[in-house]
Amino acid sequence: MPQALDMMFSPFVVIAVMLITALLILGPILHLVENGLVYVVEAFIHVPFGIGGLVIGFIYPLAVMTGMHHLFITIETALLGSTGFNPLITICAMYGFANAAVCFAISTRAKKSHVKVIGTSAGVTQLLGVSEPGLFGITLRYGTRPLAAMLAGSAIGGAVLSMLGIQANSYGLAVILSPLMYIYDPYQLITYIAVGVLTFILTFIITYLFAVPKELLVPDTE
């Protein structure tokens, strides 16, 4: 190709070839993969006795730690497109309630002033849907016991919601705003709020009694 025409035609040919490849080859393949993921996730969520919800509720916080939780959005979008409902975010949302409970429990029982400030701030931030300050600033910072309490609360809440058949009809809202995803049905709304509150209370109690590090129980020295 003449050099004078190279800069004009080479990008056009590359874009045209890739566009055709994406539409005629990659598109159908990824569509099959997407449908397969939706089928697998739906089947897993509806495993008897809430086992699927228990596993997802346990795994999701671990995915957040690595940033892999963004992949869940693709599956949620596919679920909404194919079924009109999103049971996945319902289970994953229990992580927010559990993580907030850990932050508030540690800030409530801790005797050190800076921990009280950080814990309360992180807990409020988590209630508004941003989990990283609470996760990395409190839950992971103070050892495995706060992490275990958070994972337990998230898993138990996910299992209960899975058994009760609770599912959102949208995605993108977390913790105190998440009930808006269930206003389409009174049973869904009331049950979701009840389980979310109970998940928060259970995780708070477990953390308060068993997961606050001893060094935080020593008052600041003047």
Q: Which pLDDT value is given to residue 221?
A: 67
User: Strands, E, within 49-128: which ranges?
Assistant: none
Neighbouring C-beta atoms of residue 160, cutoff 10 Å: 21
Read off the pLDDT of residues 197-214 as tens digits, 9 standing for 90 and up: 999 999 999 999 999 988
CA distances to 6, 66, 82 from 168, in Å:
52, 25, 14
The CA angle 137-121-155, to the nearest 5 degrees, is 60
User: How large is the average pLDDT for residues 42-50?
Assistant: 82
| Predicted confidence (pLDDT) per residue in 156-195, tens digit | 999 999 999 999 998 877 889 999 999 999 999 999 999 9
What does the alpha-carbon distance between residue 222 and residue 215 come to, in Å, rounded to a whole number?
16
pLDDT at 206: 95
Please write the tens of the pLDDT for every residue from 110-157.
Answer: 988 889 999 999 999 999 989 989 999 999 999 899 999 999 999 999
Among the listed residues 109, 212, 90, 67, the one whose alpha carbon sits nearest the alpha carbon of residue 159: 90
Q: C-alpha angle 47/52/57, rounded to 5°? A: 160
Higher pLDDT, 155 or 44: 155
